[in-house]
Amino acid sequence: MNKTASIFGWTLVALLGAAAVGVIAVHRGEPINALWLVAAATCCYALGYRFYSRFIAVKILALDALRATPAERLENGRDFLVTNKWVVFGHHFAAIAGPGPLVGPVLAAQFGYLPGTMWVLAGAVFAGCVQDFVILLFSVRRDGKSLTEMAKEEIGRVGGFVAYTAVIAILVILLGVAALIVVNALKDSPWGTFTIAMTIPIALLMGLYLRRIRPGKVLEVSILGFILVLFAIFGGQWASQNPTMANVFTLRAPTLAILIIVYGFAASALPVWLLLAPRDYLSTFVKLGTIALLGIGIVALHPTLHMPALTRFVDGNGPVFAGKIFPFAFITIACGAISGFHALISSGTTPKLIARETETRMVGYGAMMCESAVAVMAIIAACVLQPGVYFAINSPAGVVGQTAATATATISSWGFPVTASDMQALAHAVGEQTLFNRTGGAPAFAVGMAHIFSQSLGGATVMALWYHFAVMFEALFILTILDAGTRVARFMIQDALGHIYKPLGRTSWYPSILATSALIVGAWGYFLWQGVKDPLGGINSLWPLFGIANQLLATVALCVATTIIVKMHRTRYAAVTLVPLAWLVAVTFTASWHKILDPNPRVGFLAQARALAAGPATSATARLIFNNRLDAAVTAVLVVMVALVLIESVRQWMGVLSGREYARVKESPFVQTRLAEERG
């Protein structure tokens, strides 16, 4: 009876999922309700988790509940610790959820809601969740080793070197792009700049409270910090209306960029426990709360999507970024579908906390499903806007024109009507002077989120507060990633330099701290400056570069996973990682080819450099030409390195399959768990 009920229940889920996907895929003309996307996502995730992840767990990985995990065998009360699976799940999700699944889908919405939604659902179920799950399990079986260590052991030294270099490259590009998103959200916005500036004294206060008044009471102080941040949002409104304060906090993009670069260096070089740790807690608190709130808001208010399923920009001439759906939609949306960066977290802290192998399925596969759901929410937030408004916010002045009149005329001529007065009214409603050319995705997401919430919670009168709450939320946790990422990259560089000259590896030796901090901040600061000075807004060239780097790291992770599966003699199931690997190779290599060699100057870096060289020379021309050539060189180096890993991996597979090489997986020896005995 139970089995019959189960079959009946899952058949219903499958039918509902098919119907929802069908509506999304074939509906044209009239706007659809966001609940169709929610229904499709829920059903796809449920089916993927129940059937596909179980298939992987049973047939390929053979999860063994009796095998002791490193958390049990190596328990030390610090890094290795047996932890409740739901606690590990929350911890893992908090680490993988960043601005990527919010920004990428918003940018990709220029193609319409259909391509992004389909890629987020299929990419997560068949690629992203699989990658996070298998890498987590393989790390658990290797005493919590990192992806770079596993790549070195299973593929060879080339694999380890490429994984290490790709991580550094991604960090640098990511930090540059993330900083650019903050700059674009805060430029000429006294309200937003004031609110973010206020988070610094709030974090200092939290630090003092934690250290002196109530040691260790982080949750308590985070709630206090959150309340103070809400006051800062109200304070921002006052600051924007006060002429003196508005003058102080109205900053141009280059000024903001310099301030962020200085902040990044200070955050990396100084022992700022007083500021950084509390900020990190505050941003995590706001992040988890806002994601939950947005999820509830979308389901409760079920807004209508005004963006069409497909726009004319599938032809590759989009104003937000140039390039056709294939491969650029799959590069632009990384974290919501598959992100190589997740493999670092799945082989970082998380495997050291897992109590039983069987829990890797819920933590690895399940947490990525939640991340993917965040990406669906971002698509909804972008697509509830009128398309004309969406394009007015996200299009750079270099594409649509410098004035409101030319921008609205250009966008309206594409078939997405919008007027200067509409945009002025919207800017006024959200407390900004203008919303034109706010590239980067964050402002559009903030307007979408404010639009959703203003339908009920407080109405249009509090739309400005919701908008600035969303901007604060994004800027706060992007800045947290900026300082945390700079420190992680600094440690990685110091570890490597320590092999050349030992004192350079000491994380407490100040000359080394200053030199490596300057190196990392200088690298991402360069990309940030490049973006700020780019007439096309910077996101056009930098976000694809970040997407390519991130997906190339996923390629390395899937190479490692496939190699281990082959060595485990599970080759007949290797398609589970081999198919996403092949897809990613096709996507990343095609995207890289276009970004380097495409003859269209809006797509290809070298073509743009040639076009600039042929055009009228200005004071910025030489720098822009150099930047385009540098971006092309970075892309080429990444592709060549990943191609080497791929070749090494294929060589390993062929060696094992032909019997020329002995298939030896480098797992820790089996030790039976005592937890099973303790639990009876």
Partner 1 sequence: MSRFVKAAGILLAALREIFDEAAYARYLSRTQTASSPRAYAAFREEFEEAKTRRPKCC
Give me the residues that bind partner 1 (CB under 8 A), please: 77-79, 81, 83-84, 86-87, 89-91, 94-100, 170, 174, 178, 210-212, 215-219, 222, 271, 273, 277, 281, 284-285, 288, 334-335, 339, 341-342, 344-345, 348-349, 480-481, 484-485, 487-488, 491, 507, 546, 550
Contacts of residue 119, defined as CB under 8 A and 6 or more positions apart, other chains included, come to: 108, 329, 330, 333, 337
Per the CB < 8 A criterion, the answer to whether 513 and 490 are in contact is yes
CA dihedral 155, 158, 164, 169 (to 10 degrees): -120
Q: Which of 534, 532, 553 is nearest to 621 (CA)?
A: 534
CB closer to partner 1, 406 vs 507: 507
- Cβ 81 to partner 1, closest distance in Å? 7
Q: Which of 170/393 has CB closer to partner 1?
A: 170
DSSP 8-state secondary structure symbol assigned to residue 309:
S
Cβ burial, residue 303 (10 Å; 0-12/13-18/19+): buried
Closer to partner 1 at the Cβ: 49 or 491?
491
Q: Are strands 304-305 and 32-33 parallel, antiparallel or unpaired?
A: antiparallel
Tell me whether residue 616 is exposed, middle or buried, using C-beta atoms within 10 angstroms of its C-beta: 0 to 12, 13 to 18, 19 or more.
exposed
Closest CB to partner 1 among residues 178, 382: 178
Q: How far is the CB of 112 from partner 1 (least distance, A)?
A: 24
211 vs 324, which CB is nearer to partner 1?
211
Cβ proximity to partner 1: between 147 and 578 the closer is 147
CB of 160 to partner 1, least distance (A): 17
| CB-CB contact of 608 with 522 (8 Å) | no
Smallest distance, partner 1 to C-beta of residue 610, A: 32
Strand, helix or coil for residue 630 = helix
CB of 225 to partner 1, least distance (A): 11
- CA gyration radius for the chain? 25
Cβ nearer to partner 1, comparing 112 with 351 = 351
Q: Based on CB atoms, which residue is closest to partner 1, 304 or 507?
A: 507
Give the CA dihedral 547, 141, 367, 561, nearest 10 degrees. Answer: 30
CB of 92 to partner 1, least distance (A): 10
Q: Residue 145 or 468: which CB sits closer to partner 1? A: 145
CB of residue 362 to partner 1, shortest distance in Å: 13
Rounded least distance, CB 488 to partner 1, Å: 5
What tokens does 402 get? 């410098």
Nearer to partner 1, 435 or 484 (CB): 484
Compute the least distance from the CB of residue 183 to partner 1, in Å. Answer: 17
CB of 645 to partner 1, least distance (A): 20
Half-sphere exposure of 72 (CA within 13 A, CB side): 20
CB contact burial 588-602 (16+ within 10 A = b; e otherwise): bbbbbebbbebeebb
Question: What number of other Cβ atoms are within 10 A of residue 557's Cβ?
Answer: 32
What is the smallest separation between the CB atom of 151 and partner 1, expressed in angstroms? 16
Given its phi and psi angles, is residue 9 left (phi above 0), alpha (psi -120 to 50 degrees) or beta?
alpha
Please name the helix (run of DSSP H) or strand (run of DSSP E) that holds residue 545, with its range, or none.
helix 539-567
Neighbours of 3 (CB within 10 A): 7
Nearer Cβ to partner 1 (281/589): 281
Q: In angstroms, what is the minimal distance from the CB of 66 to partner 1?
A: 24
> How far is it, in rounded angstroms, from Cα 185 to Cα 102?
14
Cis check for the bond before 327: say yes or no (omega within 30 of 0).
Answer: yes
Question: CA-CA distance, 311 to 208, in Å (whole number)?
Answer: 52
Residue 672, classed as helix, strand or coil, is strand
Q: Where do the H-state alpha helices sit in 430-509?
A: 442-453, 463-498
User: Which CB atom, from 80 or from 390, has the smaller least distance to partner 1?
Assistant: 80
Number of neighbours of residue 633 by Cβ within 10 angstroms: 13
* Half-sphere exposure in the Cβ direction for 38 (13 Å, CA): 19
User: Minimum Å distance from CB 427 to partner 1?
Assistant: 29
Closer by beta carbon to partner 1, 252 or else 506? 506
